[in-house]
Every structure is written in structure tokens, then in C-alpha cells.
Amino acid sequence: RAIVRDLTGVAEQNPALPPGRVPIQEVDPTVFETRFLRKIKDLGEGHFGKVELCQYDPRGDGRGQLVAVKSLKPESRGQLWKEIDTMRELYHHNISSHSLIMEYLPAGSLKDYLPWRKHQTDLKRLLHYALQICQGMDYLGSQRFIHRDLAARNVLVENESTVKIGDFGLTKSMKEDKSYYTVEEETDSPVFWYAPECLVDCKFYPASDVWSFGVTLYELLTYCETSSSPTTVFLEMLRLTQGQMIITRLVEVLMAGRRLPCPPHCPDAVYSLMRRCWESSPENRIQFKDLITELELLLD
Ligand code: ADP
Ligand code: MG
């Protein structure tokens, strides 16, 4: 939001706009003119597209704002417009003002940030991040949205004490269409963050986001280290044999009651919160409201 307003100001003071043309920002402050964007470097790549660091420089004097620009692989272009519409509808302190053009957060995602900050990040800080994620998710749920891709890679670090939920690529409103995202089988796919009902029936409930939050909490407590990541640990657990399908095996293992292990140095009380997110049936899972209460108690 802040950055959008700043840039609107810049455009209004800009006398170089062609005469007789209404600056596009006056019509819609969430639309930027791409000709004023200059790429600086790549920031990250996800399942559906990539994010680049750019300067939005309508005056052309090299002093424009730094912004993160998201573009999608051609096959997922339709998704981007949905994501922009979602972002216009949602606004919350712990949800990044993320659209085609986002505020640039130099620290990147928790996954980019945490492995390098292990020694500066104590349990209390990790639980604060967890609490903020739950607050953002509780807001999302109150607006009747399901995120469907909650994971450390999609939580952005604003500063060392504030994180925001980003990547609304898969977010769906429960009001609209009933079509579900079909899961692709690839090691880097979000299947290891998915609840059984998502894997079995491709159904996503608000409680499915709670399951993914549990996996995200596990990532926080392992400082997002690749060696103990959900993908690494689940793949070891699955013991796949030639030709076996990942999702089929994953469902078997989860139905047998197996779960990600308690991370090293993780207190029992925190691991038991993860376990309450990983109840097999959605109706038995803890909700974000109660997670907020429990985390606040732990932080007291
Ligand atoms: P995808 O839908 O392709 O997964 P994401 O929105 O998750 O896209 O972004 C992919 C990666 O780009 C993130 O994991 C993060 O490393 C980086 N990134 C995304 N948004 C920003 C931002 N606003 N500022 C800095 N880095 C970002
Ligand atoms: Mg992502």
C-alpha cells in the first residue's frame, strides 16, 4: 500500500508525461506502466513464475523506488490476474501488499533468510513469526479465502521482527468456483505441505491451510535447513521403489499415522501444536484462532 501511494505521488509530480494523457495511476493506483520498470536482478523463482528486483523510475533519473515484479510462466498467466484480484480484496498487516508489483523486501522469504540467521534467531523470535503467520491466516479465513500454498518459501521477511504472507498464486475464494488445483508430481511440488484430503480428493478447506501451517511451523523450528526440510524427510520416510507414485505413497504413510519428527531442540509444547495441525480429519484440527491463543501463551 505505502509504496503504491508513494509512486502515485511521483507520477503526479511528473511533468514529463505526454500532454493530454491521464497518468494511468490516477485511474488505478494499482497499475504501473511497465515502460518505467528497469530490471536489476532476479530475486527468486517459484512453481509458477519468477520474481525480479526492478526500479520503477518514471522520471528516468535513477532515483525511483525499488520494487519486486512478479511474472508468470506462460502456462500460468491466467493465474496472475486472479492473484492480482485477490490482493486487491485482501489487506492486512501480516499480508504483503503483493500484486504484479510488490514492495521489495530485501531479506526475501523465510527460506532465504532463516538458514543464515540461525544464531541470531531464538525460539521466542520463531514463535513470534509463527504467531504473525497465524494472524495473517486468521484474517485470510475471515475473508473466506483459502491460501493453499502456505510454506516458509511463501512467507516474506519485512524486517527481523516482522513477516508477511505472500504468494497468493493459489489462493481461492470459497465464494467462487469449485474447481480445484490439480497436484503435479514433482519433488519440489507443495505435496509435502498438503493435508490428506487435498491429496486424496483435491479438496481444500480452511483446515487444510492449518495442516500446511503445521508444516511451516516445522520449517521454522528447523531453520528452513534443506537437510531436514519436509521434502527431504518425507522422501526418506516414503522409501519409494521404482515406479511408485509419490502421492500414493505419501497418503499411505500419512494414513498409517506417520508424521514429520520433532525438530532438534523443539519444546514438546511446540511439537504438540504441530501434531494438532496434523490431525487426519479436518474437523479435528486446531483452528488459527486457537493457535493464536496457544502461541500467545507460549510467548508469555
Ligand atoms: P511463485 O508463485 O513463483 O512461487 P513467489 O511469490 O513465492 O512466487 O516468489 C518466489 C520467490 O521470490 C520467493 O520465495 C522469494 O525468494 C522471492 N520474492 C518474492 N517476492 C518478493 C519480494 N516482494 N521481495 C523480495 N523477494 C521476493
Ligand atoms: Mg512461491
ipTM: 0.94
User: Cα separation of 246 and 298, whole Å?
Assistant: 36
By three-state DSSP, how is residue 173 classified? Answer: strand
Q: Ligand 1 centre from 20 Cα, in Å?
A: 37
Regarding the beta carbon of 190 and ligand 1, being less than 6 Å apart is answered no
Mean pLDDT to the nearest integer, 134-161: 91
Q: Give, for 42, the enclosing helix (H) or strand (E).
A: strand 37-45
- CA-nearest of 30, 31, 46 to 167 is 46
Mean pLDDT to the nearest integer, 59-77: 77
Regarding the beta carbon of 104 and ligand 1, being less than 6 Å apart is answered yes
Instruction: Report which protein residue has its CA nearest ligand 1's atom 6.
Output: 167
Q: Indicate if the pLDDT at residue 5 is higher than 60.
A: no
Which residues have a catalytic role annotated? 149
Task: Determine the pLDDT at residue 74.
Answer: 62
Regarding the beta carbon of 263 and ligand 1, being less than 6 Å apart is answered no
Work out which ligand 1 atom sits closest to the CA atom of 104. 24
Q: Ligand 1 centre from 108 Cα, in Å?
A: 7
Give me 96's grid cell. Answer: 504483503
73 annotated as ligand-binding: no
Work out which ligand 1 atom sits closest to the CA atom of 45. 10
Regarding the beta carbon of 58 and ligand 1, being less than 6 Å apart is answered no
Percent with pLDDT over 90 in the chain: 48
Beta-strand pair 172-173/145-146: antiparallel
Per residue in 167-215, pLDDT (tens digit) is 765 565 544 444 344 444 444 468 999 999 999 988 888 999 999 999 9
Percent with pLDDT over 70 in the chain: 71
Task: Determine the pLDDT at residue 76.
Answer: 58
Instruction: Report which protein residue has its CA nearest ligand 1's atom 19.
Output: 51
Best residue among 3, 41, 43 to mutate for probing ligand 1's pocket (most ligand atoms within 8 Å of CB) is 43
User: Cα separation of 15 and 23, whole Å?
Assistant: 10
Regarding the beta carbon of 102 and ligand 1, being less than 6 Å apart is answered yes
Query: Any bridge partners for residue 109, and if so which?
Result: 156
Q: Ligand 2 centre from 214 Cα, in Å?
A: 17
Within 13 Å of residue 44, how many CA atoms lie on the same side as its CB? 19
Least confident of 15-29, 86-100, 126-140, 262-276: 15-29
